Amino acid sequence: MSTEENKVCNNEDNRDAVCPLSILLSVLSGSWTMYILWVLAEDAARFGVLKRKVEGISTKVLTERLRMLEAEGILFRHYEATIPPQVTYGLTDRGRELIDILMQLNTLAQRWYPPTPPLQTSSDTL
Tens digits of residue pLDDT in 62-83: 999 999 999 999 999 999 999 9
Type of residue found at 6: N
DSSP string, 42-69: H--EEHHHHHHHSTT--HHHHHHHHHHH
- Domain spans of the chain? 31-110
What is the sign of the dihedral through the CA atoms of 41, 31, 65 and 82?
Answer: positive
User: H helices then E strands: how many in the chain?
Assistant: 5, 3
Q: What is the pLDDT of residues 32-63, one digit of tens each?
A: 999 999 999 999 999 999 999 999 999 999 99
In whole angstroms, what is the distance from residue 37 CA to residue 67 CA?
A: 13
DSSP 65: H
Q: What is the topology classification, in CATH, of domain 31-110?
A: Arc Repressor Mutant, subunit A (1.10.10)
